[in-house]
Chain A
Amino acid sequence: MEEELLTISQAAEYLGVSLNTLRRWDESGKLVAIKKDGGTHRYYREKDLEIFASDLMRFASEWIQDGVEFPGTFYCPTSSSFNARLTKMEYALMQKPGFEKMYSLITLITGEIGDNSFAHNLGKWPDTAGIFFGYDLAKGIVVLADRGLGILETLRQVRPELPSHVAAVEVAFTEFISGRAPEKRGNGLKTVREVVMEQPIDLFFTSGDAEVRMQGPDKEFHVTRGQRIVRGCLAKIEFK
Chain B
Amino acid sequence: MARQRNYMKLQLEKFGKTLISRELGSEAFKAFQPTLREFSKDEDLEIDFSGVLTLSPSWADEFLSPLLNQLDDKLILLPSDNLSVHATLRILQEANKRPFKIKS
Is residue B46 within 8 Å, beta carbon to beta carbon, of the partner chain?
no
**When the two chains form the complex, which single residue of A102, A104, A115 contacts B22, counting CB atoms closer than 8 Å?**
A115
Q: Is the CB of A187 within 8 A of B95?
A: yes
Q: Is the CB of A104 within 8 A of B58?
A: no
Is residue A188 within 8 Å, beta carbon to beta carbon, of the partner chain?
yes
Q: Is the CB of B83 within 8 A of A107?
A: no
Q: Interface readout for A181-219 with B: 1 if CB under 8 Å, 0 if not?
A: 001010110110011000000000000000000000000
Is residue B50 within 8 Å, beta carbon to beta carbon, of the partner chain?
no
Q: Is the CB of B57 within 8 A of A90?
A: no
Q: Choose, from A11-19, A25-33, A79-87, A230-238, the stretch at the interface.
A: A79-87
Q: A108-B55, A108-B88, A188-B58 are in contact. Are A115 and B83 (CB under 8 A)?
A: no
Contacts of B57 in A (CB 8 A): 108, 112, 187-188, 190-191
**When the two chains form the complex, which single residue of B18, B21, B22, B85 contacts A90, counting CB atoms closer than 8 Å?**
B18
Q: Is the CB of A87 within 8 A of B87?
A: no
Q: Is the CB of B83 within 8 A of A119?
A: no
Q: Is the CB of B54 within 8 A of A187?
A: no
CB distance from A169 to the nearest CB of B (A): 18
CB distance from B96 to the nearest CB of A (A): 10
Q: Is the CB of A104 within 8 A of B21?
A: no
Interface of B is mostly: helix
CB distance from B63 to the nearest CB of A (A): 13
Is residue A176 within 8 Å, beta carbon to beta carbon, of the partner chain?
yes
Residues 52-104 of B at the A interface (beta carbon under 8 Å): 53-58, 61, 81-85, 87-88, 90-92, 95
Is residue A105 within 8 Å, beta carbon to beta carbon, of the partner chain?
yes
Contacts of A90 in B (CB 8 A): 18, 53-54
Is residue A111 within 8 Å, beta carbon to beta carbon, of the partner chain?
yes
Rounded to whole angstroms, the CA-CA distance of A105 and B61 in the bound complex is: 17
Q: Is the CB of B91 within 8 A of A190?
A: yes
Interface of A is mostly: helix
Is residue A101 within 8 Å, beta carbon to beta carbon, of the partner chain?
yes
Rounded to whole angstroms, the CA-CA distance of A103 and B84 in the bound complex is: 9
CB distance from A189 to the nearest CB of B (A): 10
Contacts of A86 in B (CB 8 A): 18, 20
What would be 26 A-B contacts, judged by CB atoms less than 8 Å apart? A79-B23, A86-B20, A101-B81, A102-B83, A103-B53, A104-B53, A104-B54, A104-B55, A105-B84, A107-B20, A107-B54, A108-B88, A111-B18, A111-B20, A112-B57, A115-B56, A118-B21, A119-B21, A183-B22, A187-B57, A187-B61, A187-B92, A188-B56, A188-B58, A191-B88, A191-B91
Residues of B participating in the A interface, judged by any CB pair closer than 8 Å: 17-18, 20-24, 53-58, 61, 81-85, 87-88, 90-92, 95
Known: A90-B54, A107-B18. 9 other contacts (CB 8 A): A87-B18, A105-B84, A107-B20, A107-B53, A108-B20, A108-B54, A119-B22, A188-B58, A194-B91
